[in-house]
Amino acid sequence: MAPKSKARGQAPPQPSDYETDAPPPALDVPRPPLRTNEELNLSVLQRTYPDITALEHVTPYAALYILNEDTSTWEKGGVEGTLFTCQLTPSPIGAERFCAVILNRRGLSNFYLELTSSEEMEISDPYVILRGDQVYGLWIFADPPPASTANCRTETAEKMTEVANRAEASREAMQRAGHAHDKHLHEQIEAASSAPMGRQLSLRELFGQQRHQDADFSLHSHNGHPVPSQLQHQQNHVPTNTGPAQQDVLGQLFMKAKQDYNGHG
């Protein structure tokens, strides 16, 4: 049987945009560096809290409760997620600072509180109680032994207490150093103000330093003429003799002036 002829008017197949199956040329693009989980978590936290500089501890899961002081009962705060204990940038006086942050999985509002003193904390199983503008209770999830998270609650409480003590100790040390500096400066000012009136204070008296040559410093004239203070001294000691000899000299001067006038008159 003869093969069937192709249908008349059928358009030839159009060439494809992909004429070859060869792979595209490889691009020499360096891969981004791999980051650890700690680096990733730190980057996420710093987007919202730029003052965070390092992570001290990570707790996989915690829930926030708030104490209702009227009824003395704990109420859910609507914040649940990973709890981070973080280091912050130093305070204006150079003291260490730390905070606790819960990144909320149930909403946009996170929990953030600076840890300033262990006296503002209390460990009461199953809560880590923190005092801020309100009384907060952090419920920390822990699996029963021998799970890896069995000691998570205890470890988190110990770490938060540790950093709170560090913050308090650092703040007190910086304050003592500042007070000592202020006291020393105050003593210097008092010593300067107690100097006798009319006497110029030396650099040594003001700052405890003085160059050796200051003791021998004196005022000299560089052109051989007396300085104003010397002129004044000389004027104060001009002889004031008005005896007969001085009167005769004055008389002769007047006579000579009169003769010169008459001779030219």
pTM across the whole model: 0.58
CATH value of 38-173 in 3.30.465.10, 2.30.29.30, 1.10.1380.10, 3.90.1150.10: 2.30.29.30
SS in 3 state form for the chain? CCCCCCCCCCCCCCCCCCCCCCCCCCCCCCCCCCCCHHHHHHHHHHHHCCCEEEEEEEEEEEEEEEEECCCCEEEEEEEEEEEEEEEECCCCCCCCEEEEEEEECCCCCCEEEECCCHHHEEEECCEEEEECCCEEEEEECCCCCCCCCCCHHHHHHHHHHHHHHHHHHHHHHHHHHHHHHHHHHHHHHHHHHCCCCCCCCCHHHHHCCCCHHHHHCCCCCCCCCCCHHHHHHHHHCCCCCCCHHHHHHHHHHHHHHHHHHHHCC
pLDDT tens by residue, the chain, 265 residues = 555 555 566 666 666 555 555 666 666 777 777 889 999 999 999 999 999 999 999 999 999 999 999 999 999 999 999 999 999 999 999 999 999 999 999 999 999 999 999 999 998 888 999 999 999 999 999 888 888 888 899 999 999 999 999 999 999 999 998 877 677 676 677 766 665 555 555 555 555 554 544 555 544 444 444 444 544 545 554 445 555 555 566 667 767 766 665 555 4
